[in-house]
Structure 1
Amino acid sequence: MRFTIFATTLAAVLSAPLAFAADVMPANGMLVNASGMTVYVFDKDVAGSGKSACSGGCLTLWPAVIATEEMPAAPYGTIQREDNGAKQLTYKGKPLYLYKEDKKPGDAAGDNFKNVWHAVKP
């Protein structure tokens, strides 16, 4: 009886669609954008605040991941950037960024940068 319940539950979980925003997807244990570039979060951003702590020169080095979907499925969402009004993609309420120094897909040079930037590991 227990095995049947477990097997049925496991089958339901494995067949359920995974929720990913069209803009990002998991690869090699990290989130990447459609071009395969690593996606990051910033410790100074407060999850759920609806704001980004990265602006001006920060955005030159850490460009925002701009959402292409109006309402991505949870745990993704969007915030409206104060500087240009663009919709920035979020993960669990934290804005997402790329790192300018990552040159090719799979690079993660920004992971743990100054102990405040981290590759997103779903």
Structure 2
Amino acid sequence: MTIQIIVLATNEKADAVIKQGSLAQMPSLQDGWRFDFRKQLKALKHATAYILVREDSPEVIEGCLIFQLVDKMVPYMAFVEVAPHNKGDEKKHDHVAGCLIAYAFKQSLIRGSGRL
């Protein structure tokens, strides 16, 4: 899914994409993140990880999401986090978390079933 995030240094929009991430791509505590996405992805049943990256720097993860289907039908946003460089007063990008949360909502409509 193609989206846009804000580059705070210039206040311009940057093209970005949310895509499914592999286990090897998942950030961890050792990378400065609060959650160990690798560990959580391995532990959660029926979970899928997504990463948000800028199109011009796809090797740098700007944010990460783990979406889970509890009991194979109830949508659940298990973990969501922006990259360490997108937190605090010196953050580089804005709207990363909002884009990931909106994407999780979209996935819940597409993949969820039954009543909550």
TM-score range, shorter chain: under 0.3
Bigger proportion of residues as helix = 2
TM-score w.r.t. length of structure 2: 0.26
Higher RCO (Cα < 8 Å, 6 or more apart): 1
Bigger proportion of residues as strand = 2
User: If you compute each CA radius of gyration, which structure gives the higher value, 1 or 2?
Assistant: 1
